[in-house]
Amino acid sequence: MLTLTKLSTLLQIALGCASLLDVASAAPSMMSRKQGGPVTSAELGAGADPSKAGKNISSSYQPASSLAVKDPSYQVISDFDFQSIALALHQEYIELDLFNYGLVKFSDADYDAHGLDAEDRHLIRHMAQQEIGHAVALSNMLGAKAPKQCTYRYDFQTVPEFVDFCQRLTKWGESGVYGFLNLLDNRASAQILLQSITTEARQQYTFRQFEGLFPMPEWFETGLPQSWAWTLLSPWIVSCPEENQPLAWDIYPALKWLNEPDAIAAGKAAGGPSISNNVTALTHAGQENLFSWDEPGKIQGPYRQKTRTYTSGTPKFAAYVSQFNVSYTELYDVDMNARTAKARQPGGTVYPQGPSLVNSTVFVALTDTDTFYTPANLSLINKHVVAGPAIYQAG
Ligand SMILES: *[C@@H]1O[C@H](CO)[C@@H](O)[C@H](O)[C@H]1NC(C)=O
Ligand SMILES: *[C@@H]1O[C@H](CO)[C@@H](O)[C@H](O)[C@H]1NC(C)=O
Ligand SMILES: *[C@@H]1O[C@H](CO)[C@@H](O)[C@H](O)[C@H]1NC(C)=O
Ligand SMILES: *[C@@H]1O[C@H](CO)[C@@H](O)[C@H](O)[C@H]1NC(C)=O
Ligand SMILES: *[C@@H]1O[C@H](CO)[C@@H](O)[C@H](O)[C@H]1NC(C)=O
């Protein structure tokens, strides 16, 4: 257990690091060569005397982790792990279905017309096959009670809409896992899940490239609570086999944008599919965002769950969850009858040299407090969610 003093020391260290980064030009890139050059290996500690680091490095010395297990088992060992990995498995299944569906729904000519050729289609097919491996790996961890594949619905009508949906879906798939990966009780299963989700991260990036967007404006990928991922995923699952056990995660009332930025148009304007296009942010700090949200109590998802909130239902803040920050701006023009409200996009950066915090595919929820969270305690926000999350396509 961390004492408060220890925690504040840690925080000071963390803040110290951030300010070091600030003055030492040690941040990776975004600094051009002219502005100070890349970090030298000496600056990173190469050539330093290892004994000064408190380690006696001899030719046979190998540091050992106190958590290493000689004969690991990959079976889930707790309900937390079961529910978390079952959520990830629902995600892998929809990806398998979705990528294949997109390949069948549109003709080669449709793809060609949008700048995606036979080799690009092969990559989508390959990504679908990767999902088979992921689904098998996760099912094996869960054992006999592993959920089976479900049926799905999609509302895209064109190739760019399909690509955009894939880019969003893989984003919450990726972020949904990062949120719990380090909290899993069985680190062995976490290891294989990690090795599957890094592949998913590459898929997300590929779909952004297919959309014509800048592949990764962010410096850090976001981790989300499981219930946030389930809130975003569950509307697309129609029904599951009867033997599937319902998932434990909450579903929060839907949050909708009334003025969402158009990533498809931006990608097209930038020249369409490409390894990288110079798409600047689609939005800017101070931009007015218009929201509407649903009441709690609607039935959603394959297990017919009721959407819920632990709050009184009145939102006060828009929480923009991006990179590893949560930034709030106050809601205004809150109309509790129409359930609409407005907020302005926050500014700021993670680190001073970095890109603006809100850029790329980010998440927004409406909350009743502006409590401070860091990545490892973000799930505490769940008790304060009035609606959402929704994706904010900021870049
Ligand atoms: C480091 O290891 C060497 C070789 O085992 C040993 O002779 C030496 O005493 C050790 N030094 C310290 C500071 O532990
Ligand atoms: C892309 O952006 C970079 C960085 O701002 C700039 O140096 C480069 O000229 C831009 N390229 C094009 C084709 O606009
Ligand atoms: C994001 O988080 C980092 C680390 O806690 C902090 O230094 C930075 O100021 C935050 N940025 C914003 C805009 O809140
Ligand atoms: C958003 O990211 C893109 C790609 O890195 C960059 O060109 C743009 O300047 C960023 N916008 C802001 C406001 O940071
Ligand atoms: C979350 O953790 C940060 C430290 O990393 C702490 O300052 C903050 O108060 C925590 N939030 C809650 C709600 O406990």
CA-closest candidate to residue 213, choices 154, 261, 158: 261
267-277: per-residue pLDDT in tens? 999 999 999 99
Q: How many angstroms separate the CA atoms of 132 and 137, rounded?
A: 9
Is 37 within the bounds of a domain? no
CB within 8 Å of 62: residues ≥ 6 apart = none
Place of tokens 């990528």: 99
pLDDT at 150 over 60: yes
pLDDT at 21 over 70: no
**329 CA → ligand 5 middle, Å:** 18
Ranking 10-19, 133-142, 194-203 by mean pLDDT, the lowest is: 10-19
Measure the CA angle with vertex 101, ends 97 and 107; round to 5°: 160
176-194: per-residue pLDDT in tens? 999 999 999 999 999 999 9
Q: What does the pLDDT read at residue 64? A: 87
- Binding site membership of 371 for ligand 5 (Cβ less than 6 Å): yes
Phi/psi at 342 (nearest 5 deg)? Answer: -130, 155
Is 248 within the bounds of a domain? no
Task: State which ligand 4 atom lies nearest to the alpha carbon of 278.
Answer: 7
Instruction: Using alpha carbons, list the distances in angstroms from residue 304 to 66, 98, 301, 309.
Output: 43, 22, 5, 16
**18 CA → ligand 3 middle, Å:** 9
Q: What does the pLDDT read at residue 50? A: 65
Residue-range definition of the domain harbouring residue 152: 2-11+73-239
Residues 179, 233: one domain? yes
What mean pLDDT value characterizes the chain? 90
Beta carbons within 10 angstroms of residue 388's beta carbon: 27
Is 23 within the bounds of a domain? no
Instruction: Using alpha carbons, list the distances in angstroms from residue 267 to 168, 213, 393.
Output: 14, 5, 12
Structure tokens belonging to residue 374: 């860091």
Q: How many angstroms separate the CA atoms of 347 and 49, rounded?
A: 42
Task: State which ligand 5 atom lies nearest to the alpha carbon of 377.
Answer: 1
Structure tokens belonging to residue 292: 């509407």
pLDDT at 254 over 60: yes
CA-closest candidate to residue 95, choices 243, 223, 197: 197
Structure tokens belonging to residue 270: 């930038």
| Mean pLDDT to the nearest integer, 357-380 | 97
Query: By percentage, how much of the chain surpasses pLDDT 70?
Result: 88
| Mean pLDDT to the nearest integer, 20-46 | 54
Is 67 within the bounds of a domain? no
- Binding site membership of 325 for ligand 3 (Cβ less than 6 Å): yes
Q: How many angstroms separate the CA atoms of 18 and 359, rounded?
A: 20
Please report which helix (H) or strand (E) contains residue 181, including its range. helix 159-181
Structure tokens belonging to residue 33: 């060569």
Is 357 within the bounds of a domain? yes
Residues 84, 193: one domain? yes
Residues 228, 355: one domain? no
**278 CA → ligand 2 middle, Å:** 6
Where a domain ends, among 213, 239, 265?
239
**For the chain, how long is the longest CA-to-CA vector?**
72
Under 8 Å between Cβ of 256 and 389: no
Residues 85, 226: one domain? yes
**89 CA → ligand 2 middle, Å:** 40
- Binding site membership of 10 for ligand 5 (Cβ less than 6 Å): no
Instruction: Using alpha carbons, list the distances in angstroms from residue 135 to 100, 268, 299.
Output: 15, 33, 27
Is 78 within the bounds of a domain? yes
Beta carbons within 10 angstroms of residue 309's beta carbon: 24
Best mutation site among 58, 60, 61 for ligand 1, i.e. most ligand atoms within 8 A of its Cβ?
58
Residues 137, 219: one domain? yes
pLDDT at 207 over 90: yes
Residues 294, 230: one domain? no
Q: Supply the DSSP symbol for 186.
A: -
The sign of the dihedral angle between the CA atoms of 111, 115, 116, 118 is positive
Ranking 10-14, 32-36, 38-42 by mean pLDDT, the lowest is: 10-14
Q: What does the pLDDT read at residue 20? A: 38
**42 CA → ligand 1 middle, Å:** 25
Residues 235, 282: one domain? no
Residues 169, 265: one domain? no
Residues 265, 218: one domain? no
Residues 235, 373: one domain? no
Is 91 within the bounds of a domain? yes
Best mutation site among 329, 350, 372 for ligand 3, i.e. most ligand atoms within 8 A of its Cβ?
350
Q: What does the pLDDT read at residue 365? A: 98
| Mean pLDDT to the nearest integer, 313-324 | 97
CA-closest candidate to residue 91, choices 244, 236, 215: 236
Residue nearest atom 12 in ligand 4 by C-alpha distance: 356
110-143: per-residue pLDDT in tens? 999 999 999 999 999 999 999 999 999 999 999 9
Residues 224, 261: one domain? no
Where a domain ends, among 205, 239, 273?
239
Residues 265, 150: one domain? no
SS3 annotation, 132-148: HHHHHHHHHHHHHHCCC
Best mutation site among 56, 59, 60, 61 for ligand 1, i.e. most ligand atoms within 8 A of its Cβ?
56
Q: What does the pLDDT read at residue 57? A: 67
Is 29 within the bounds of a domain? no
Domain holding 160: CATH number? 1.20.1260
Q: What does the pLDDT read at residue 48? A: 76
Domain count, the chain: 2
